Amino acid sequence: MPVPIQWFIYSLKKFQDYQGRASRREYWYFVLCNVGLSLIMSFIFPLVIDSSLSAILSALLSLALLIPASTLMIRRLHDTGRSGWWSLFNLLPIIGWLLLFIFFIQPSDPNENQWGHCPESFDKLPPALPSPI
């Protein structure tokens, strides 16, 4: 299994964890896989199945990934030393999105903060994933 998919699955498994920290790698691999799934649902599925069914499946996928994406966003903000309440800036078009993008590309806070230790130390592979075999 490729590494981005492993990080995507790891993030999905931690969908209920609002308290920890998420590294840049964990966040951006989740975003990469999410965009890839969206592109597949938008461009390839309509070629294979009915476009209205494809739209419904795409909407269901977006809904299913909403909570894992929001928890990951909050954990990423924790990693940069910010409260999860900063995620509400996502509701402000353009300026809020730009501000959050700047926060998300920043490196991890190297020190332990109130949300835990720096995840960059285990950033090579996601921890606690079973072998694909």
The per-residue pLDDT for range 55-77, each reduced to its tens digit, is: 888 899 999 999 999 999 999 99
Which amino acid appears at position 100 of this protein?
L
Decide if pLDDT at 30 tops 90: yes
At 83, the pLDDT band (50, 70, 90 cuts) reads very high
Which residues are within 8 A (CB) of 123 and not within 5 positions of it... i.e. 6 or more apart?
23, 25, 26
pTM across the whole model: 0.82
For residue 47, give its domain range: 3-112
C-alpha–C-alpha distance, residues 131 and 109, integer Å: 30
What does R_g of the chain's alpha carbons equal in angstroms? 16
Tokens of 100: 């959050």
Within a domain: 80: yes
Tokens of 18: 């609002």
Within a domain: 123: no
Within a domain: 126: no
For the chain, what is the domain count? 1
C-alpha–C-alpha distance, residues 116 and 79, integer Å: 9
